[in-house]
Structure 1
């Protein structure tokens, strides 16, 4: 049995891991590497032949785990893609959105070349709607904690991971030439007590563990709850300062959790009413999918639904659908909260809201998630005094804030505890992925001090297991 890390090696995005059992090849996740956003064509360099992959196992829908699947299909993959039912639905939504982003960037590139009289062609979209539909047709859905036999020698089980609706850790039980071996891939590990989502479940004992390391070396803020933190920020920005609060949020997952918390705040009367705009058609569609898979939300959300009604609908909340209505939000001059995608500011309607508000002293931009290096969100959090938005260089006068209370990733302690649920004397190896090198090293140092054998793989390096 051989493991090769082809993506998210010493970086966060582009998760892609190849497990070879004899001649049978299993790809766990196939995510977009968008830390090199200027060169998306790097995603066509898989490091293996797509047509030789027998099956793909998808941990969850986020683009850094699913976003390169249509490229894989376009370049020859012809097998099945195994995932949970919510992951299948949410992934289709995200992949279609990726096509729109690719086409928009291609159009902007064409206009730029025309203005500057460049004759050479620019980068083409990685894939089109046809390739997404070809990908979706390959989904086979499997429920949590139901062992599924892929071949006579390989069995897979999805274990709830929190993090996102449908997100799973993957446990593979393999008969490798008469020897039973087990390996688990954590996917992205969620947090306990996260709004809407169930807590992650511990993985069973395994021989090998491939673990994410996003928050290695970092602890989430302690003390104030999600609701208390948001109440304090909204009270300051919208009530006392009569200003505008803009929250960049991923349309799938983060927005639904945020809306639920806002529902609890305003339905309880904790704050005076404030107008809230959710400006993302994809968030609206994702919310419908959360309703479709409502059986998988956590007990708190179920109880709220049974006693007070829909978690994702309340007075003063407006889901903005059309582009015309989106532009009208800029003309709303009363205090308000605008939730819009994308979370890292790389495209989407959020860029329009930034364009009109980045120089507004009475505007606060609140980041509630991770921003990868190279993204506009990263540059704002870094403190750049001038940023480039919609072909303009704009000075930053708005207040930039960040909170980790709505981060859907487990922190250093969660990651350590997840590994320590495995017996150090029996776990033959831990392989850290999906994190910056410093985060991986911090996590490795802690685990090694507790007797675990830890590897920080480089891209393309193989391990015989």
Structure 2
């Protein structure tokens, strides 16, 4: 049995791991690699023949894990894609949204290069729908026989609705081995989502390491941080709070937290706008799969009603309604995508408010280097929007309390569920090298054999 880490090797994006048996090949995740300069062109070149892959296992819906699946089909893959039901629904939304992003980039480039076409999209809507047709959904904690030699079990890991660690039990040449792929590991007590569940004892563990050596803030709670920010921005002064948020996962958790705050009367009512069509669709998916949300969210539903609906909350649908928010003169909270400010309706809200002294922009997620969000967080005094240079007068704030990734403690706790005498090796993926090294050092002191594989390195299991 051979394992090759073809993606998220010593970097965060592009998760893609190839597991090869004598006569069967399994690809675990097939994500977009955003760290390639021309990612649309580069992501269509696979380091293997897609037609030779027998099966894909998808841990969760995020684009850095699912985003290159339509390309895989387009290049010859003919097998099934195994995932949870919530992952299937959310992946469909995200993949269709990716098509819109590709086409938007193409149109933008075409405008600036007269007579020349922009970059060709990686895939189109028809390729997404062909991909969705390949999804075969599996429940959590129910062993699924792939064939006579391979069994798959999904274990819930929080992070995103439907997200799972994939545990494979493989019998080869009379020997049975277990290997687990964590996907992305979530946090305990995260709004709406269940806590990560313990993994069974395995022989080999492929673990994410995004927050290796990093720790989430502990000096305040998410509820306290939101109350403080809303009070300062919308209650004491008649301002507006803009929260850039990823449409799937982050927005639903934020809306639930705001629902709890206002339903308890911890703050006087404030108008809230959720301005993201994708978030609206995703919220319906969360409602559809309500059996997968946390006990806290279920209890709230039983006692107070829908976690994602309450007085003074408005879901914005069309662009006209979105633009009209600029004319809303009362204090308000605007939740909009995209989280890094690189596109979407959030740019409209920035354009009209970045020079507003009474506006606060609260970042609740990661912003990659070079993005507009990153430039604001590092304190750039001027930003360019709609071909205009605008002074930044709005207050810029940040919190990591809604990060969907478990921190160093969470990663250590997940891995330390494994007996170091029985776990042969831990392979660290999905993290920057410095974070991998920090996690590897901590695990080594606990007597774990840790490997940080290079991209394309073939490992005999």
**TM-score, normalization by structure 1:** 0.97
CA distance in 1, matches of 2:439, 2:94: 30
Q: Contact 1:32–1:67 at 8 Å: present in 2 too?
A: yes
Residue 424 of structure 2 is aligned with which of 402, 411, 428? 428
The residue correspondences of 1:329-344 to structure 2 (distance < 5 A) are: 329-344=325-340
The residue correspondences of 1:264-303 to structure 2 (distance < 5 A) are: 264-303=260-299
Residue in structure 1 matched with residue 96 of structure 2 by the alignment = 96
Residue in structure 2 matched with residue 22 of structure 1 by the alignment = 22
SS at match of 2:187: coil
CA distance in 1, matches of 2:387, 2:182: 40
CA distance in 2, matches of 1:23, 1:63: 29
Deviations 1:170-227 (A, max 9, x none): 1001112221111101111011111111111011000111111111111111142221
The residue correspondences of 1:255-404 to structure 2 (distance < 5 A) are: 255-404=251-400
SS at match of 2:441: helix
Q: Contact 1:12–1:372 at 8 Å: present in 2 too?
A: no
CA distance in 2, matches of 1:388, 1:46: 36
CA distance in 2, matches of 1:376, 1:55: 38
| Structure 2 unaligned spans of 5+ | none
Residues paired across the two proteins, number:
461
SS at match of 2:113: helix
Which aligned runs of 4 or more in structure 1 are off by greater than 4 angstroms?
A: none
Q: Contact 1:8–1:433 at 8 Å: present in 2 too?
A: yes
Q: CA 1:283/1:37 → structure 2, altered by over 3 Å: closer, same or farther?
A: farther
CA distance in 1, matches of 2:373, 2:121: 23
| Structure 1 unaligned spans of 5+ | none
Deviations 1:18-70 (A, max 9, x none): 11111311111111112336442111122111111111100011111111111
Matched, 1:203 2:199: yes
Deviations 1:69-88 (A, max 9, x none): 11111111111000000000
Residue in structure 1 matched with residue 156 of structure 2 by the alignment = 160
**TM-score, normalization by structure 2:** 0.97
SS at match of 2:309: coil
Q: Contact 2:209–2:430 at 8 Å: present in 1 too?
A: yes
SS at match of 1:44: coil
Shift of 1:443: 0.7
Deviations 1:263-311 (A, max 9, x none): 0111111111111000001111111111111111111111111111111
Q: CA 1:80/1:447 → structure 2, altered by over 3 Å: closer, same or farther?
A: same
SS at match of 2:410: helix
Matched, 1:113 2:113: yes
Q: CA 1:385/1:2 → structure 2, altered by over 3 Å: closer, same or farther?
A: farther
Deviations 1:340-391 (A, max 9, x none): 1111222211122122222222221111112233432223223333333344
Q: Contact 1:14–1:30 at 8 Å: present in 2 too?
A: yes
Deviations 1:88-116 (A, max 9, x none): 001001111111111111111110112xx
Q: CA 1:347/1:181 → structure 2, altered by over 3 Å: closer, same or farther?
A: same
Q: Contact 2:105–2:118 at 8 Å: present in 1 too?
A: no
CA distance in 2, matches of 1:381, 1:456: 31
Q: Contact 2:33–2:39 at 8 Å: present in 1 too?
A: no
Q: Contact 1:40–1:126 at 8 Å: present in 2 too?
A: yes
The residue correspondences of 1:84-233 to structure 2 (distance < 5 A) are: 84-114=84-114, 119-233=115-229
